[in-house]
Amino acid sequence: MNGVISIGTLQMALAYVYVLVLMAIVKKRGIGGEREILWSSFRMTVQLVAVGYVLGFMFTSPHPLATVSVYALMQVFAVHTILGRLRFRPGRQLKKVIAGSLVVGTTVSTAYFLLAVIGLKPWFDPRYFIPVAGMIVGNSMTGVAVGIERLHSSIKNRRDLIETALMLGAPPELAARDAANEAFWAAVLPTINSMLGMGIVFLPGMMTGQILAGVSPLTAIEYQIAVMLAILGGVTAALYLLVDAGTRTYFNRRCQLDLAD
Amino acid sequence: MTIAAFSLRDVRFKGVLDVGFLEIPAGKITCLVGSSGGGKTSLLRLLNNLASPDQGDIRFFGQPVESYDPVLLRRRVVMLPQVPPVFPGSVGDNLQLALRLSQRRPAAPDRLVRVLSQVSLVKDLDTPAAQLSGGEKQRLALGRVLLLDPDVLLLDEPSSGLDENTERQVFTGLVVQVREGGRTIVMASHSARLAGEFSDRLVHLEGGRVLEVQHRDAGEGRQL
């Protein structure tokens, strides 16, 4: 029982039964969304097959440019996903802040993890770089998406309090501090909650993957703990930059609250 | 000769205000009167630089408002909004918060108690602010502003939640304090009592325009 069980075409087809079950339920109950379910299942399949081939190629002939290109693509995709999901129209300045905070926050955290924590050599080894960066960027993407939505709604809901604070002579960052803190906490909370349940409620994906691939559970948890902390670091850094610089975009040069939309 | 705290020339703002010329004297109490939607609140917001005019020139002691650091300007020209929100926490927290927001040191409890008595609010400092009635919240907010001791107080309908006796009590004390300290008050008010008893100058705004300025201290009126 040491080898990995390979999933054949027929077995893979059986796995798609889950999608069919969901489709049947939403159709029967009139919930709708069948197209979205089909589209997301199809996209997931195509994206993963494609990435499997790309990673296979990269692992056999590692090159710094290839690793950096994949990393850059990951960031572009993450920023695009966040902007596409927003329920309000951000201004140009806020879009820059969203992109900047995600890229800078996750890059600092990824670099620290790869270079200082695991001492990766060469630094661009895609076998480590790509999956670790993927987990940090993916989780931070979710955090930033939650953070910016919450920041926007908090500032709108607290408009009177923020303007009253400005009238009393508060600088914008102090006037909007509660809104910014609320957004930061709301966005970092899912990561903290997932740490609480980890190992008891669920086994995290990376650890599960390593165990399935035959790695000893003790080695798997070492990596999982370190990666989880790196994810926390990435989410924290991205959110810190986001709420700080994002809050400033809601005020103009005369420190007036500017809720354009 | 009266020094102008504010002077406005050809000021237009969002179709709400269209002021050709207006001077607001320093060290006096100016009352903005007129019907709702006449531009009183917008004018106060422009003076606090919480908004900027679409065109025209607003000066504070001779210097364009835009040349001042907006945050430092608002510490000299503090505004009390029409429906002032109370912040979470106690009465004392609300007063201290005004100091913290304007980056000043916390005040000793006896100073806070003095401010509460100035605005006729008989409450302990640890009373939850959310438990206050509308009129009490308004007085607490007025206390918050007084605690900052600014050069200019911009008060938007400061007595709308107060009965006649409380209004007279609060404003008599306030006027004495303002006159002794050479402070300036600009207030928007529907209260004929407030305008009649306490103001040195009445500015009648209708449809965003200044219809009349009455110099009550000099006993004269000027139709525009």
Interval A81-100: pLDDT, tens: 999 989 999 999 999 999 99
Which residues have CB under 8 Å from A159's CB, separation 6+? A257, A259
- CA angle B173/B178/B183 to nearest 5° reads 165
The answer to whether B129 faces chain A, any CB pair under 8 Å, is no
CB A158 within 8 A of CB A178: yes
Q: DSSP alpha helices (H): ranges in chain A?
A: 9-15, 17-28, 34-60, 64-85, 92-111, 126-157, 159-167, 172-175, 177-197, 205-212, 217-248
Q: What is the pTM of this model?
A: 0.87
Contact partners, residue A238, CB within 8 Å, separation at least 6? A101, A102, A104, A105, A106, A140, A143, A144, A147
Cβ neighbours of B21 (radius 10 Å): 13
Per-residue pLDDT averaged across A43-71, rounded?
93
CB contact under 8 A, A163 and B50: yes
Which of helix, strand or coil describes residue B211?
Answer: strand
Q: Which amino acid is at A63?
A: H
Other residues' Cβ atoms within 10 Å of the Cβ of residue A4: 8
Contact between B98 and A171 using a beta-carbon 8 Å cutoff: no
Q: What is the pLDDT along chain B (224 residues), one digit of tens a residue?
A: 678 999 999 999 999 999 999 999 999 999 999 998 899 999 999 999 999 999 999 999 999 999 999 999 999 999 999 999 999 999 999 999 999 999 999 999 999 999 999 999 999 999 999 999 999 999 999 999 999 999 999 999 998 878 888 888 888 888 888 888 889 999 999 887 788 888 999 999 999 999 989 887 754 444 45
In percent, how much of chain A has pLDDT > 70? 98
Question: With 90 as the cut, is the pLDDT of residue A161 above it?
Answer: yes
* Band of pLDDT at residue A185, cut at 50, 70 and 90: very high
Q: Structure tokens of B9? A: 């020339």
Contact flag A161-B101 (C-beta cutoff 8 Å) = no
Confidence (pLDDT) at B169? 87
Q: Mutation target for B interface from A167, A174, A178, A250: give the one with most B CBs within 10 A.
A: A167
Closest partner residue to B102 (CB to CB) among A160, A170, A254 is A170
Q: By the CB < 8 Å criterion, does B40 face chain A?
A: no
What 3-state class would DSSP assign to B64? strand
Give pLDDT tens digits for A231-260: 999 999 999 999 999 999 999 999 999 987
Paired with B205 in beta bridges are B210
Query: Is pLDDT above 70 for A1?
Result: no
Chain B residues touching A259 at Cβ < 8 A: none
Residues in chain A: 261
User: Is the pLDDT at A2 greater than 60, yes or no?
Assistant: no
Whole-angstrom distance, CA of residue A12 vs CA of residue A166? 60
Identify the weakest region by mean pLDDT among A155-164, A172-181, B1-10, B42-51.
B1-10
pLDDT at B167: 86
